[in-house]
Amino acid sequence: MDKNIKRQFESVRREYDKLKQGAIDDLSAYRSGMERVRSEASKYKDEKAYIDEHSGDLKYSTRKKIEESEKEFCDYIHGTIIPALRTALVDHMTAAPDRAFMQTLTYYNEFGIKLDSAEVKALSYDASGNSLALRCLASVAEKSGVSVRFPTVKEYSGIIDRLEKMAQPPLLFAGSMDYINEAAQVMPDMPLRRADGSIYGTAGRPSSTYLITQIQSVESIMKAVDNAGEKWAAQVVPEISEYKPYKDEDTGEEVTAAEQRAQDKLTAAQMIDAEDTATAEDEARRMGAEMAEANRKANEGLQYYINGGRSV
């Protein structure tokens, strides 16, 4: 498992949790402050005028805190995380496959040796999660009618793009559904965004629906980030020189570098799906035939009804 990739994704989660808790704390403090203002306003004849006068500074200071937190989060994503992930992606794409593995694939390919799904799964272990090796394996297996599926570079590139597009302030991120009303009072106007996330104008005050959607959108992206981090980290198997022996806390036995790498290779192999396409095609044909027969019977029934109960 590539510890550096995992650390990068974990740091995104850590900074996001910090952003989320900060928004909740700031809006909670704003709520408490407004409660004090309203309580004090009850002592005055013109309560609304008192509230309007004393709530302005509170709204401004809360908005500034939230905006600063959002900028800090977005700067970290764009300045640290995105470059690191794009570099890691290039490394993942261009990492040279194991020569012995590629030689084995060459034998299958040159001599037309048929592969089945079990052999593909076994070979995927020695691919060690290498992107080019898996693509070559998929190409060779396809000639034997075996479909190979695994997390692709496009999948990882897509989550980087989503993260980059999302991390453009203002986020108008309330942190929790519990503070939607406060967020509607404090947040800046809703931004109008281009396809790349950049802003070209505003669309007035944020509605509750908009703020709820923002929370759901950011949460959805963060869930995808977590999933991508787990998959990517599991798919990359370092060279054996990068492992250090350690003692198992439960058994007290030493876990060697070879044992660690073998476990990581197994984890990477478990992410590979291999399916005999002939079997899948047979199943598709069977289902198609069943649907056709069901449609035929339905049409017969309809014609029987149309003809007043007479067979056609």
- Per-residue pLDDT tens over the stretch 209-221: 999 999 999 999 9
- Is 312's pLDDT higher than 70? no
Tens of pLDDT, residues 229-258 = 999 999 989 888 889 999 998 899 999 999
Q: Which whole number is the average pLDDT over 191-206?
A: 93
**Confidence at residue 54, expressed as pLDDT on a 0 to 100 scale:** 83
pTM of the model: 0.79
Whether the per-residue pLDDT at 22 is higher than 70: the answer is yes
Q: How far is CA 66 from the centre of its chain?
A: 25
Please determine, for residue 134, whether its predicted confidence score (pLDDT) is greater than 80.
yes
pLDDT at 289: 56
- Give the mean pLDDT of the chain: 89
Q: Identify the pLDDT of residue 305.
A: 52
Residues with Cβ within 8 Å of 145's Cβ and at least 6 positions away in sequence, in order, are: 276, 277, 278
What pLDDT score does 42 carry?
Answer: 86
Closest CA to 241 of 222, 255, 260, 214: 260
Share of the chain above pLDDT 70, in %: 88
Question: What is the pLDDT at residue 278?
Answer: 56
156-169: burial string, b at 16+ Cβ within 10 Å, e else = beebbebbbebbbb
Residue 25: pLDDT over 90: yes
At 260-294, the pLDDT tens digits run 999 999 999 999 999 987 554 555 455 555 565 55
Q: Averaged over 57-64, what is the pLDDT?
A: 95
pLDDT band at 300 (very low <50, low <70, confident <90, very high): low
At 43, the pLDDT band (50, 70, 90 cuts) reads: confident
What are the angstrom distances between the C-alpha of 197 and each of 165, 171, 191, 200, 206? 5, 11, 10, 10, 17
The model's confidence at residue 44, banded by pLDDT at 50, 70 and 90, is: confident
Average pLDDT on 191-220 reads 95
Average pLDDT over residues 54-79: 95
The predicted structure's pLDDT at residue 241:
87
In the predicted structure, residue 114 carries a pLDDT above the cut 70: yes
- The whole-number pLDDT of residue 308 equals 58
